[in-house]
Amino acid sequence: MIEFKNVSKWYGSFQVLTDCTTNVSKGEVVVICGPSGSGKSTLIKTANALEPFQKGEIFIDGVSVGAPDTNLPKLRSRIGMVFQHFELFPHLSVMRNLSLAQIKVLGRSEAEANERGRALLERVGLKAHIDKYPGQLSGGQQQRVAIARALAMDPMAMLFDEPTSALDPEMVNEVLDVMVDLAKEGMTMMVVTHEMGFARSVADRVIFMDQGQIIEDCTKDEFFGNPDARSDRAKHFLSKILHH
Ligand SMILES: Nc1ncnc2c1ncn2[C@@H]1O[C@H](COP(=O)(O)OP(=O)(O)O)[C@@H](O)[C@H]1O
Ligand SMILES: [Mg+2]
């Protein structure tokens, strides 16, 4: 479903991704972890064509992201992206946040878009907040709206970039619960996160990045169950995050 082939990217002379190769199959959940600055955000942004890359190829459901004739807005509309800082439209109601792109990009009628929006808000437990504005919601609620908004586009895959790291601790689980449900329903997901409990419970694979490279790409069981086989960098990273 998502295929990275020897992807390299530079910001000027600084190489941010080096020869990254991995595949995410339909229905697979892949967690990406690694130190700050290792290129995790950049990697998933290249998949959504939010960041160009200079070498290699990326295919989404067989469509080449880098090919000049690829319809990028169309491709982007099929991949849901959830960021650390929600990025809801502050001046639009929750309902409108969910319906706008459905109407403008997918050409749905207002009634259809509202119907789909309502169903998704119910699913993330926020039906009562439909007429509120983002600023009237907690961080955890805003992030659940952001997930519902992405799902309203009927994405073929969802990309998450540290979706819980800007949240107060008591709100982390309400967002993770929604993500766990999605994973169990078979959504294809790439999730940048340091929530190793989430990784242990629903990830199929774990990717560990350092300095722009994919250092580890293995099954969850291999990653957590066979620490001796991990690279020193992964071990060092895990020892730091698992001790807290
Ligand atoms: N727009 C940019 N211009 C130049 N350097 C950038 C830009 N965005 C990110 N970087 C650098 O690229 C590296 C990887 O960043 P990023 O993908 O955000 O890492 P991560 O998500 O793992 O913390 C970092 O060293 C960061 O400073
Ligand atoms: Mg990042």
Ligand 1 lined by 13 (C-beta under 6 Å) = no
| Å from CA of 212 to ligand 1 middle | 9
Choice from 15, 42, 159, 191 to test ligand 1 binding pocket (greatest atom count within 8 A of CB): 42
pLDDT in tens, 152-182: 999 999 999 999 999 999 999 999 999 999 9
Looking at residue 244, its pLDDT comes to: 52
> Token pair for residue 244?
């807290």
The model's pTM is 0.95
List CB contacts of 39: < 8 A, sequence separation 6 or more.
16, 17, 20, 209, 211, 212, 213
- CA 97/CA 143 separation, integer angstroms: 12
Looking at residue 243, its pLDDT comes to: 62
- CA 141/CA 146 separation, integer angstroms: 9
* Average pLDDT along the chain, 244 residues, taken 10 residues at a time: 97 97 97 97 94 96 94 92 92 97 96 97 96 96 97 97 94 96 96 94 96 96 90 90 66
Of the candidates 128, 132, 151, the one whose C-alpha atom is nearest the C-alpha of residue 93 is: 132
Of the candidates 60, 87, 86, the one whose C-alpha atom is nearest the C-alpha of residue 74 is: 60
Looking at residue 241, its pLDDT comes to: 80
Give, for 19, the enclosing helix (H) or strand (E): strand 14-24
Ligand 1 lined by 208 (C-beta under 6 Å) = no
pLDDT in tens, 207-227: 999 999 999 999 999 999 888
| Ligand 1 atom with the shortest distance to the CA of 34 | 22
Nearest CA to ligand 1 atom 5: 11
Ligand 1 lined by 193 (C-beta under 6 Å) = no
| Å from CA of 56 to ligand 1 middle | 19
| Å from CA of 43 to ligand 1 middle | 10
